[in-house]
Amino acid sequence: MTEIRNLSQHVNEEVTLEGWLANKRSSGKIAFVQVRDGSGTAQVVASRSEVDDASWQAIQEAVQESTVRVVGRVNEDHRAPGGYEIHASELELLALSEEFPISPKEHGTAFLMEHRHLWLRSSKQRAALRVRSEVCQAIRDYFYDGGYTLVDSPILTPAACEGTSTLFETDYFGDKAYLSQSGQLYLEPAIAALGKVYCFGPTFRAEKSKTRRHLMEFWMVEPEIAFMRFEALCDLAEDFVCSLVTRVLDRCAEDLEVLERDTKALEAVQKPFPHISYTEAIERLQAKGNPIAWGDDFGADDETQITADFDRPVKISRFPTKIKAFYMEPDPDNPEVVLGLDVIAPEGYGEIIGGSQRIHDLELLERRLAEHELPREAFEWYLDVRRYGTCPHSGFGMGIERFVAWMSGVKHLRETIPYPRMLNKIYP
C-alpha cells in the first residue's frame, strides 16, 4: 500500500492506495476521482477502455466518502492537485457511503458542530488539526532540547489553582474533587527535584461565558523553573513563542495556504516583543477613549485595542495584586502590583500566555491563601515547597488552542481542537 504523500517516490510505477472518495466527475468515457487517504488527496483518472467492467461499475456507484481501493500508475502532472495523477487499472468499491451530510456547499455552524466528527474530514479542519499537531510536537521538542523534564500533573485535584468560580466539581469517594484548572501547583514541588520541568495536558474551566476564545476543556503547556526571576521568565516566553512561530512557518506552509492564512503577519513575529506595564496599558487605552480604570481586568476588546498598535505579540506585566492569582510574587518596587506576565497575540487573538514569578516566602503565601479564602488544609503540601529549601521560581502557561487559532487564522477556538467542549455543549 502506498500513502498519497509518498507518490513522488513512485513516478511511473504501479501503486495501490486505499482511501475515501472526496469528489468525482465523469464524462462518459473518462472519470476523474479524487481520493483522500489522510496523508493527502490524489487525482485518479480512469478511462472506460483501460479498466475492466467491474472497476467501471464501481466508479459509477461510488459516492462521496465511499471507501475505495485503487491500483494504477503514477504520472507526474503539474495540473493535478498535489502534482501527481494516477492512471487507474483497477478500482474497487470497499464500502459505499450513505449520503454524506456535509457537502461542499455552505452549512451553518450549529449544523457543523453537531457533525463535528464528520466535519473533521473537510480540508480546512484537517489543515488546522495538522497545525495543532505540529505545534504540540514543537512544544515538546523545545522543552526536551532545553533540558526540561516532563512532569505530568494530575487531572483530579483537591484544590483550586485559578480561582474557585470556574471549577468543575466531581465526587471522589465521598470527598469533593475538581478537574484541574492548571498543573502549576504540582510543578512547583517538582522543581526541587528536577530543576526545569513542564507539563502538557488538558485543563478544565467552567467558564460561564460564551466567547470565541473560551473552551471548557483546553490544553495547556506549563514550564516551571527553579531560581528563575521575572525578567528571565519574560525572555523565555518570548523565545518560546518565536520558536513555535518559526516552526509553523517552516513546516506548515501547505496547511497555512489551505487556511488562507496571511503569513506576512506571522513573519513579523520576531524578538524583541514590545513590553509594557499594566499601568501603561491602562493609560494607552484611556488615551484611545476607553473608559477602563486602573484596577480593572482586560476584556477581549481591551486586549485587541492594546495590540492594535503593534505588529507582534505584546508582553504586559505588573498587574494589580487584587486581579491576579494568590501565588504571584509582589513587585519589590511597588507592593500594589505583582510580577505577573501576560502575552497578548496580535490580530485580535488575545491572551496566549499567563505566568508569573511565584511567592517563595512561606509567611506571605500563608497570608495570601487566607486573603483569597482558600482552604489552607488543601494547600499544606504546596506550602512545603516554601518550608524545605525555598527558592525564587517562575513559570507560565500557554493555551494551545489560542496559539493554534492565531497561527491558523481561525477566529473561533472550536476549530482548533478535535472535539471542542463548549458552554452547554458536549455532543459529539
Q: Binding to ligand 4AD by residue 420, rule CB under 6 A?
A: no
Indicate whether 346 belongs to the interface with ligand 4AD (CB under 6 A): no
- Return d(Cα 265, Cα 21) in angstroms, integer: 35
Q: How far apart, in whole angstroms, are the C-alpha atoms of residue 21 and residue 41?
A: 9
Which is closer to ligand 4AD, CB of 7 or CB of 417?
Answer: 417
Among Mg ion, ligand 4AD, none, what does residue 395 contact (CB within 5–8 Å per kind)? ligand 4AD
What is the Cα–Cα distance from 216 to 295, expressed in whole angstroms? 26
Q: How many residues bind ligand 4AD (CB under 6 A)?
A: 24
354 binds Mg ion (CB under 5 A): yes
Amino acid occupying residue 83 = G
Please state the closest distance from residue 337 (CB atom) to Mg ion, in A. 15
**191 vs 215, beta carbon nearer ligand 4AD:** 215
CA distances from residue 151 to 9, 94, 190, 243, 308 in whole angstroms, order as listed: 41, 45, 8, 22, 37
Site for ligand 4AD contains 393 (CB under 6 A):
no
The pattern of x and - marking residues 115 through 154 that bind ligand 4AD according to CB under 6 A reads ----------------------------------------
Choose one: 42-50, 212-220, 264-272, 313-321; the region binding ligand 4AD (CB under 6 A): 212-220
**Binder of residue 316, out of ligand 4AD, Mg ion, none (CB less than 5 to 8 A by kind):** none
**CB distance 307 to 265 below 8 Å:** no
Q: Is the dihedral of CA 257, 262, 268, 270 positive or negative?
A: negative
Q: What cell does 375 get?
A: 482552604
8 Å CB contact between 264 and 386: no
- Residue 353: which of ligand 4AD, Mg ion, none does it interact with, CB under 5 to 8 A by kind? ligand 4AD
354 closest CA partner among 300, 396, 415, 402: 396
| Nearest-approach distance from CB 21 to ligand 4AD, in angstroms | 36
Report the residue from 177, 220, 344, 369 that binds ligand 4AD according to the rule CB under 6 A: 220
| Distance of closest approach, residue 16 Cβ to ligand 4AD, in angstroms | 43
Q: Determine if 72 is a binding residue for ligand 4AD (CB under 6 A).
A: no
Element (H, E) at 339: strand 334-345
Give the 3-state secondary structure of residue 268.
Answer: coil
Q: From 167, 164, 143, 165, select the one nearest 155 (Cα to Cα).
A: 167
Positions touching Mg ion (CB under 5 A) are 354
